[in-house]
Structures are given as C-alpha cells and as structure tokens.
C-alpha cells in the first residue's frame, strides 16, 4: 500500500487521503489488484526475466490494459525489471532520480518490489510517495518528478505510455538546494 510523506514530515497511509493530496498535482494513485497465481509468483520472485516470462507478466495483467487504454489513453506497455545485478540499474537510477518532466502521461503499475516517486508542485512544495506491489500511478504531462528505488533495489512493474518511444525525460532545474540527495522515505 502506498505511503505519502509531505515536506513537513507528515505521513499518510490512507489511499483516499493520498489521492486527495495528490489531486493538486493532477496525479492519480490507486490500487489495481492483479491475479497472482503460483507460476506468476515464481516469475516475479526471479531477478532476471526471459522474454517469455515478460510476456507471461503482460498476459497476466492483460485485463487492466483495455481500461487504462480507454481511460488514460495508453497505447503501449512494457515490463520494467530492475535488480542489483542488472547492468542497466545504475544508469537508469542516475537518469530517473533527477528532476524531470515528460511531454506525455506516464503510468506505472508495481507488481513486485517498491519505488519512491518524488513530485514537485508548481509552487515549489514537494512530496515523496512510496509505491508497493499493487499500486498504480499516473503522472500527467509536464509534472516535475523523479523516481528512485527503495533500498532493496528491486522492482518489477508495467510501464504505460502513449507512444511507442515511451516516456522520454526532459530534465529540469529545481531551486531545491538538496537536488542531488536521494529520497528519504
């Protein structure tokens, strides 16, 4: 279940309270349960997934794609698999932990592991959101955010985008003097 931390240190664990606060960012956070049979649990427990196992993950989450396509306009989805042994982990984290925006909406459905999403409001206030398995977030275009992993450095998620190129980050400057620091949640 998601956990939201405000700049003043207040923490929210109620999904309705989190959704209400994130409404000012136009960010959607919700729970999307997924069927997790024994074979999928085995696949999600692995560090590395074969192309066939990624296909299995997409097939298992197939029931939600038509809804997100219709409601949020997504046309593409892909499986994100990051773990400490992944050669793309650190380059990905270096890129995504910097404040950035996208020209299109970005969706992420966490299937295993955790991540931290930092959001910056146009007035400069910031929040941090810990997402866990079953959580879904939709970040609209032009919302300043950053993405990091929890200390386990493990995540499996379905990423949703509007175009085949996916969500390309546009890095932005932020007046925050702690810009390079990692999220603390």
183 is a domain residue: no
85 is a domain residue: yes
105 is a domain residue: yes
181 is a domain residue: no
Q: Which range marks the domain in which residue 49 is found? A: 3-171
pTM: predicted TM-score of the whole model, two decimal places: 0.89
Q: Which CATH number covers residue 18?
A: 2.60.120.10
Count of structural domains, the chain: 1
pLDDT tens across 82-103, in order? 999 888 898 988 888 899 999 9
24 is a domain residue: yes
Distance separating alpha carbons of residues 105 and 142, to the nearest angstrom: 8
pLDDT at 184: 53
Residue 182 has pLDDT above 60, yes or no: no
Residue 179 has pLDDT above 70, yes or no: no
Percentage, residues of the chain above pLDDT 90: 65
> How remote is the C-alpha of 10 from its chain's centroid?
21
12 is a domain residue: yes
Residue 147 has pLDDT above 90, yes or no: yes
């Amino acid at each position: 279940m998601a956990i939201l931390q405000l700049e003043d240190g207040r923490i929210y664990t109620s999904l309705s309270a989190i959704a209400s606060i994130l409404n000012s960012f136009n960010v959607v956070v919700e729970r999307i349960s997924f069927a997790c049979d024994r074979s999928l649990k085995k696949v999600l427990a692995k560090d590395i997934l074969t192309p066939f196992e990624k296909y299995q993950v997409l097939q298992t989450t197939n029931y939600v794609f038509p809804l997100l396509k219709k409601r949020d306009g997504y046309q593409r989805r892909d499986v994100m698999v990051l773990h400490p042994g992944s050669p793309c982990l650190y380059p990905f984290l270096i890129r995504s932990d910097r404040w950035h925006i996208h020209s299109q909406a970005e969706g992420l459905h966490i299937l295993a592991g955790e991540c931290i999403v930092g959001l910056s409001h146009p007035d400069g206030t910031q929040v941090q959101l810990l997402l866990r398995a079953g959580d879904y977030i939709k970040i609209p275009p032009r919302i300043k955010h950053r993405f990091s992993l929890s200390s386990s450095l493990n995540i499996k998620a379905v990423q949703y985008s509007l175009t085949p190129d996916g969500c390309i980050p546009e890095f932005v400057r932020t007046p925050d003097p702690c810009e390079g620091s990692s999220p603390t949640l």
